[in-house]
Chain A
Amino acid sequence: MTDKELISLLLNNKTREKGFSLLAHTYKEKIYWQVRHMVLSHEDANDLTQDIFIKIFQNIDSFNHDSSLSTWIYRISLNHTLNFLQSKSQKHKSSLKTLEDTMLDNLKSDKYFDSSEIELKLQKAILSLPEKQRLVFSLRYYDDMPFKEMEEILKTSQSTLKSTYHFAVKKVEEMLLDEEKNKISFPH
């Protein structure tokens, strides 16, 4: 089903339920993984994914066809995720540990994470990146998102995104250099 057909189902009150069922079926996994790679915890990712779909449902009438439906959905998803992380970071300010340290500690005991030493080191390196670099790195490295699509979602030029990704990769590589440099390869 094309985006156009899906939108026409979503914008019609009689077919909205069916349209939304199709939309959830199509996008649930992609949204979940985008969120999960940013928040790391399965529980948080699960809650956020459901919230994102509610947000999509509540705002579907405001979809104005300026971008594709998928771009609009991913933009909502990323904004919601970043807001969640910022809010969590604010709440975490009074704590002695940083949010990143807490996330890493939780990851170690997470049964839904392959907590091998090298994976934990990689996550530690990724968590040390500034937010924008971490987002771009995550979308490119884990979700294999083309820079063209990223440009539309983040409203940032492809050249800037490529440069951001390049710096992020360099930093992560530097951190892993002493450890398992040869075990991880990054796409260029």
Chain B
Amino acid sequence: MKTRNNPFKVPENYFDSLEKDILSKVGQASKKQYFFPKAKQMLKYAAVILLFVAIGGTIWWNIPKKTTTTQDQMAITQVKSDPKPTSIATKIEEVEQNKTIDKVIANPTKVKKQEKELNEDKLELSDDELEYLEYYLNEDVLTDYLTYND
């Protein structure tokens, strides 16, 4: 090493020991360099998971909760107060009956005509058929209809 007017000195064989020290320190740094990227990578994954949890939690927290409407409350009260809750089949039956009644009320002439045609054909119904008809026709409407035709 060419230096000019150098008043600075070093210990004897200093540069030999410096090289050894450098290589030893670099060896230690190399081991750290091997370990820390793995730790860093794991931290990255943990951070991503935490981020998702945080975002999910925030969204969940801010979703408006479903509130019970007055209608729902009435329905609940009705169900609770009904000692014998109606089965779905019975409900469907009731709806069908109501439809039939509506038809009769809406167009009594048509119903009358159909009845007349039945009479004209002298169609005789069996007991089962009658029972079937009675089952689907509201008793009150049928009575009214029969009264009206009498």
Query: Which residues of chain A have a CB within 8 Å of any CB of chain B?
Result: 20-21, 24-25, 28-30, 32-33, 36-37, 40, 42, 46, 49-50, 53-54, 57-58, 111-116, 119, 123, 141-144, 184, 187
B2 contacts A50, C-beta separation under 8 Å: no
B18 contacts A28, C-beta separation under 8 Å: yes
Minimum-distance CB pairs A-B, first 9? A114-B7, A119-B7, A112-B9, A53-B22, A29-B1, A24-B22, A57-B26, A54-B29, A24-B19
Among the listed B2, B18, B33, which residue makes an inter-chain contact with A32, where contact means beta carbons less than 8 Å apart?
B18
A28 contacts B2, C-beta separation under 8 Å: no
9 contacts between A and B (CB under 8 A): A24-B19, A24-B26, A28-B18, A29-B15, A32-B18, A42-B11, A49-B22, A141-B5, A142-B4
* Inter-chain pairs besides A112-B9, A144-B4, 12 sampled, C-beta below 8 Å: A21-B23, A30-B1, A32-B18, A33-B8, A36-B8, A42-B11, A46-B18, A50-B18, A54-B26, A111-B9, A114-B8, A123-B7
- Measured in the bound complex, the distance between the Cα atoms of B21 and A93 in whole Å is 33
- Measured in the bound complex, the distance between the Cα atoms of B13 and A29 in whole Å is 12
- Measured in the bound complex, the distance between the Cα atoms of B29 and A40 in whole Å is 27
- Measured in the bound complex, the distance between the Cα atoms of B8 and A42 in whole Å is 8
B29 contacts A57, C-beta separation under 8 Å: yes
A58 contacts B29, C-beta separation under 8 Å: yes
Q: Provided the pairs A29-B15, A58-B33 are in contact, do residues A116 and B1 lie with their beta carbons within 8 angstroms?
A: no
- Measured in the bound complex, the distance between the Cα atoms of B11 and A111 in whole Å is 9
Query: Which residues of chain B have a CB within 8 Å of any CB of chain A?
Result: 1-11, 15, 18-19, 21-23, 25-26, 29-30, 33
B8 contacts A112, C-beta separation under 8 Å: yes
- Measured in the bound complex, the distance between the Cα atoms of B1 and A49 in whole Å is 16
How many whole Å from B1's CB to the nearest CB in chain A?
5
Q: Provided the pairs A28-B15, A49-B18, A50-B22 are in contact, do residues A113 and B8 lie with their beta carbons within 8 angstroms?
A: yes
Q: Which residues of chain A have C-beta atoms less than 8 A from B11's C-beta?
A: 42, 112
Among the listed A21, A25, A54, A114, which residue makes an inter-chain contact with B9, where contact means beta carbons less than 8 Å apart?
A114
- Measured in the bound complex, the distance between the Cα atoms of B18 and A49 in whole Å is 9
